[in-house]
Structure formats: C-alpha cells, structure tokens
Amino acid sequence: MHLRRALLLSLAAALVLGPAARTFASQPAPSNAPADATPPALYLGTAWYPEQWPESRWDTDLTLMQAAHIRFVRVGEFAWSMLEPSEGHYDLDWLDRAIRAAQRHHIAVVIGTPSAAPPAWLTTKYPETLRIKQDGQRDQHGNRQQFDWSNPKYRELARAMALQLAQRFGHDPNVIGWQIDNEYANESYGPATQAQFQDWLHARYTTLDNLNARWTTAYWSQTYTDWSQIPIETSYGNPGLLLNWKRFVSDTWRSYQKNQIDVIRAKSDPRQFITTNMMGFFDGYDEYTVSQDLDLASWDDYVGTGQLNPVSNGAAHDLTRGLLRKNFWVMETQPGFVNWSPDNNSLDKGAVRAMAWHDVGHGADAVSYWQWRSALNGQEEYHGTLVGADGTPVPLYPEVAQLGSEFAMAGPSLAGTAVHSDVAILHSYDAVWAINWQRHNKAFDPLATMVTYYGALRALAHSVDIVNPSVPLSQYKLVVAPALNLLTDQQAQNLIDYVRNGGHLVLTQRSAMKNTDNGLFTERQPGPLADLLGGRVAQYYALDSSIPISGAWGSSSTNVWAELLSTSSPDTKVLMRYGKSPLGWLDDQPAAITRQVGKGRITYIGADLASDSASPALAAAAKWMLTDAGVHPAFGALPPGVDLYIRSDAHHEVWILINFGDAKAAPQTVTLPTAFTNVLTGSPTHSVTLNRFDVVILQRPTH
C-alpha cells in the first residue's frame, strides 16, 4: 500500500511540476550523506510534523519536498508529548528516524525545542506551571503558550527536555540548527511572578527612596514603603511602573530562553546555530533584549488579510536584520493564505514567489513555509499548505518548486553577501511603549510614523537599516529618529557623538521627551539634545484639524500633531513654518529647524509629515536629508510598483528587482546604469522589463 501510494504521489508531482519533476526523477537515489555537506547559500524550507503522520508516509513527503528543492525542515517544536510521553521517560528514536529520512533526501533539519506546548501530564501534575491570566484565572491545557514563563518548575522541565535533545542531536551531521520554543507571547500575572518582578526592581533600583524619586511616586500618593506593595500594571498606571514591567517581561523571556540555550550550547557543535522565531513588530517584549544570546535572528512573516505591502513588510525585515545587525532567516511564512485573519484570502498567483525574493533582498538567507501539510484535526485545519489533506500537491506547489530551483541557481551569487546601508532609522521599544500608553491623540501611531518615514527614505536610498539607538552609528551618513520619545543617558550621548563626528541626525515629533524611567526630562524637547540643536519644542499640540505648512520642502499641511519650535542659536535655521489656522498658537512659527555642528548636522521636524505617505513635503524632506548627508544611491527613481534590493560583498553586487505593481498596470522597464549579468539566465543585459510579480536577479562586479 505504501509503495502504491508513493508511486501515485510521484505521478501527481510529475503532472504538477512537468519538466522539474522529470529532472528530479533522473537524479541519483537519495544517499546517507549529510544534507549540509555543501550547505546552500539560500535555504528553502518548510515546517514538517512527522509525529502527526504514519512513518510509512515520511519518504513520500520527503520525495515531494526534494522535488521542490526544499533544503531544510523544522521539526519537533510542538512534539513534547511524543518526545516525553511521561515524566522522565523520553522517546527520541522516532525523531532520529525522521532526521535520517530527511538526510536520505538531502534535507537538513532544524530542531525546535517543544516548550511552547507542554504535555497534559505536565500541566496536570504541576498546575503551577500554567500561567495566570490578567483576569486572575489560571490558563488551561489544550492550546499552546499556556505555560508560565517565569515558573522555576516549568523551566526545569523544559531545560531537561532540551538537554535530552542536545545530547542526542547536538553532533548530528544533519541537524544544522535549533529554534528555542515558538513565538514567545504570553506572560503570567500571578503572585509568584509579581514577587519576581519586585525582586527585579529591587536589584535595579537598590532602594525604595531611589525608586520613589525616579518614578515621582509622590503623585497621587503612590509612594511605596515596602517592595511587596508594588503591583503589576500593564495599561494605565505610573509610567515608570509600566515601562519597568515591560523591561522585566523582556528580561524574563531572555532568561527563559537562555535556560535552554545554555544546555544546547554545552552539548552541540558550534556549527549548529540557535535562534527563535520572533514576530516582526510584535511589541510584547523588547526583541533587542531577547535576541542578544542568539546566533541569528529569525521571524515569522505573514500577510494575513490582503496582499503584501512591500514597504511595511520590508520594514519588518529590516527590523529583524537590525536585531543582530546581520542576515536573518524567515522561519515561517504563509503558503498562500492563513487561517487566523478575519478574511483569509489567498495571495495572488505569483505573489508567494515574489514575496520570497523580497525576503532575500532584505537580507534573509532562508525562507520556510508553514506548513507542509495540515494536521487532520486541530486549531489550524484551514491554514495554507504545500500539499493537501490527501497528501498531493496543491496549486501553489509548482510556484514554490520554481522558487526552490531559483534559490539553487542564484545561491552562489548571493553567498556571503549582505545588505549595506548609508541610512538608518532608529527604533526603540521603550519609546513605542511610552507613546502608546499616553498617545494624547489616539491617531498618533509611533510605528506607523516610523514606517512612513522608512518608506519615503527607502524609495530614494533603496536600502535602510532599522536599529536600536544604543548601537554604534558611525557607519551611517544619515540617521532618522521618528518619534524617539524616550532616551537613556547612553543613547543621548551616542546621538550627540554621532552628530559631532560628522553625521546628520533627524529627529521628528515627540522625540527626546522622556528619560530612562519614562519620566519627563527637566529640559524641554529634545531634552539632552536641545543644546546641540540650538532650539527646542516650546509646546506640543494634538490636532483636530489640518494646519498649513510651507518652506524649503514646499507647501503641505500637518495633521494629528504639531510642535511649536523656537531657536536659541544664530546657527539654527528654520526650514518650514506653520501657516494661519483657527488654532492661532502656531501661526508663522517654526515647524522644522536645523543646525550644522562642525561637519555634522541635527534637524528637528515638529510638523506631522508622516500622516500621509504620499505627502510631497515628506518626499521633499527625504530628498533633502539624503542630499545634505551625502547619500548617493546606486540608482535613481524606479517605475511605479518596482522595488530594488541590493546585497553585496567585497567583490560584487547582486540587484533584485521585483514588480509589485497593480494587476492592471502595464509592464515596467528599468534601464540599468551599467551592464549586468542576469543570474538566472547567464545573459548580459542593460535593461529589464517586468510584469506584475516578475523577479529579476542581476549581478555586477564592484571593481
């Protein structure tokens, strides 16, 4: 029966893939050589759950994967009940057999530690390992992420499970890496966690007098006389308390993760990387904090409802690349559609392939689809897959197979390349949280503001890094800090040094208002940067109507928010002014100012340029910033809908061009500045024409 089913499925693959499958059929039989004996520069992968299927099915699935050029599978991250059926009794043999089966098909393995979904025996025997929700009720078994990430017993059991896996597979030639847990998300709010939070605060502030002073607890009689009095608060409370809870959450996720990392590192080869799959702009914790102990960053890239927005999705890629400031992996992405969005439409034909090359262009070295095949029951039955419930390929399969073939062809050109940017956007979880707790105008979204500036700059520069304000900045000619509301002392000094050493720093609305404890600076905005700016924010206004602005960047209007600027130095120049409005306070006052400091420059934009991504003033401001900073992009303006990504090493550049334009738009032609070689065809070219979702990969030497 197994042989007959395998033959039928192979025939189905041949019918779907055509020549690609026939090419595969002529290849040598799978061997026992390690899948990573010659690791590819670009990995195509999928999430595979062998424990959910009869073992007689495994080779059939792996044959279809190999035909689609899938080079790795992620396994194990939800399999705790199969790996440890009862406490202390481990069964890793089935996983070993699955790894060997993958190896025979030249498919490498990433092992996910299974702590995201504890087994029923664990949560029944140790109910204290279940999280306490914000309503005070204990979570129940039957979902995932129901564990208490701060609970010592849960950490002990998770560590023991990770140790067993590392001892068995830490030197396995076919295991290339480890993923810790899966999509960290839920905190616990019980008394034990609260006590840990209080101890954490004690270690941070040393004395209650210090904490009370820095949090200004004299306000509303919040003064604490014992550490045990300090509550957990997540939405409306003392700003210092709110911020420190989020920092505690971040540190606790980091220590939860390190609890497993330490045993894996001690028992595994250095060649095996360790990561965890984060979630882009999810702000439940500080990803910069949690990523510090990882070898590489990875994230789960989903569109949900609608079609890919290359600007916002690209910003999420660049955020992930900025966590460790190097190439990253897309550990999960959608094969057509998801099941958890209000409307789970499919991506258009061709968009899945284009989206994957978009990932690579932003610095991804791997793209992996969730998942290979749906479980026949469970909470995610409707989620997109690469094969159907019957085990035969779905219509998307050939598109992914084409992508796998292209990854194999283009991999040598992309090996060792990375994204290099002259422009950086500063992103801080502290600042985002601080604004979101006190928006003052509900329409002011700090992340949307950042993405809008990012889009305007990237349209001209073609490459923008997103990094934390604590990192070294000297490599950048231009640094833009949208709504950087909160600054630590170290970050403030970092920005001052950047300007004094010749960089151009641009601050926007609501920047440098708060200190490390989420309290107001004693100086007006931009706080410790005001002297450098030679100006300040005299007052801020949440707006209920538009106010005209005009000046060096043309004429426009400001919505949502406006800041009245003043100058205190003759060197500080006014770039934009407000016009007349019913508000009156802003009439003819400075809306944007700038000051040259030696070879550097600092600029403050008090007008809301980001409420309209198509604003001509924003485009003009972005062009002015880049020109003043001496940023000279490798290419000029692109046709509508066409996006350019550049990766390079010391010897050559790889350009990836993708047309994300409207379905009704005409094909777009791009004339190249010099001769390139088309990586997929080997042909020289001076221009390319792209239909919707077309992808062209080009390379040229850099010397």
State pLDDT tens for residues 170-209: 999 999 999 999 999 999 999 999 999 999 999 999 999 9
33 pLDDT above the threshold of 90: no
Structure confidence at residue 613 (pLDDT): 60
Q: Is 528 helix (H, G, I), strand (E, B) or coil?
A: helix
Q: Where are the domains of the chain?
A: 2-187+253-414, 423-629, 642-701
Q: Which of 32-46, 88-102, 233-247 has the lowest mean pLDDT?
A: 32-46
* Assigned CATH for 423-629: 3.40.50.880
Provide the sign of the torsion angle of the four alpha carbons 333, 336, 339, 345, taken in this order: positive
Label the pairing between strands 108-112 and 175-179.
parallel
Contacts of 105 (CB under 8 A, 6+ apart): 30, 35, 59, 62, 63, 65, 66
Confidence band for 540, pLDDT divided at 50, 70 and 90:
very high
Asked if 577 and 601 count as a contact pair (C-beta separation under 8 A), the reply is no
Structure confidence at residue 28 (pLDDT): 38
- Which residue has 């080079």 as its token pair? 71
Percentage of the chain with pLDDT > 70? 94
What are the distances in angstroms from CA 349 to CA 263, 290, 355, 615, 693? 44, 36, 11, 31, 9
Q: What is the mean pLDDT of the chain?
A: 93
Among 473, 514, 499, 480, smallest CA distance to 605 is for 480
Choose the CATH number for 2-187+253-414 among 3.40.190.290, 3.20.20.70, 3.20.20.80, 3.40.630.10.
3.20.20.80
State pLDDT tens for residues 593-650: 999 999 999 999 999 997 766 679 999 999 999 999 999 998 888 999 999 999 999 9
10 pLDDT above the threshold of 90: no
Structure confidence at residue 636 (pLDDT): 86
In the structure encoding, which two tokens stand for residue 344, read together?
């789970």
CA 356 to chain CA centroid, nearest Å:
15
DSSP string across 281-298: T--SS-HHHHGGG-SS-E
**Residue 178: in which H helix or E strand, if any?**
strand 175-179
DSSP string across 581-639: -TT-TTTT-EEEEEEEETTEEEEEE-B--TT-TT-HHHHHHHHHHHHHHT---SS-PPP
Structure confidence at residue 255 (pLDDT): 98
State pLDDT tens for residues 82-97: 999 999 999 999 999 9
Percentage of the chain with pLDDT > 90? 90
Structure confidence at residue 1 (pLDDT): 37
Among 353, 413, 310, smallest CA distance to 698 is for 413
State pLDDT tens for residues 264-285: 999 999 999 999 999 999 999 9
> CA-CA distance, 197 to 189, in Å (whole number)?
10
> CA-CA distance, 504 to 681, in Å (whole number)?
42
Structure confidence at residue 612 (pLDDT): 64
Among 543, 580, 576, smallest CA distance to 560 is for 543
Mean pLDDT of the 525-546 span: 97
**Residue 202: in which H helix or E strand, if any?**
helix 191-205
Structure confidence at residue 105 (pLDDT): 97
In the structure encoding, which two tokens stand for residue 276, read together?
């965890």
Among 200, 248, 250, smallest CA distance to 227 is for 200
Among 190, 192, 181, smallest CA distance to 74 is for 181
Label the pairing between strands 298-301 and 277-278.
parallel
Label the pairing between strands 72-75 and 423-426.
unpaired
Alpha helix positions (H), 293-396:
310-324, 351-361
> CA-CA distance, 166 to 489, in Å (whole number)?
41
Choose the CATH number for 642-701 among 1.10.10.10, 1.20.930.40, 2.60.40.1180, 3.60.10.10.
2.60.40.1180
Q: What are phi and psi of 149, to 5 degrees?
A: -70, -10
Structure confidence at residue 379 (pLDDT): 86
List for the chain the helix, strand, coil content (%; round to 5).
35, 20, 45
User: b/e per residue, 118-156, with b = 16+ CB within 10 A?
Assistant: bbebbbeebeebbbbbeeeeebebeebbbbbbbbeebbe
Catalytic residue numbers, as ranges: 183, 332
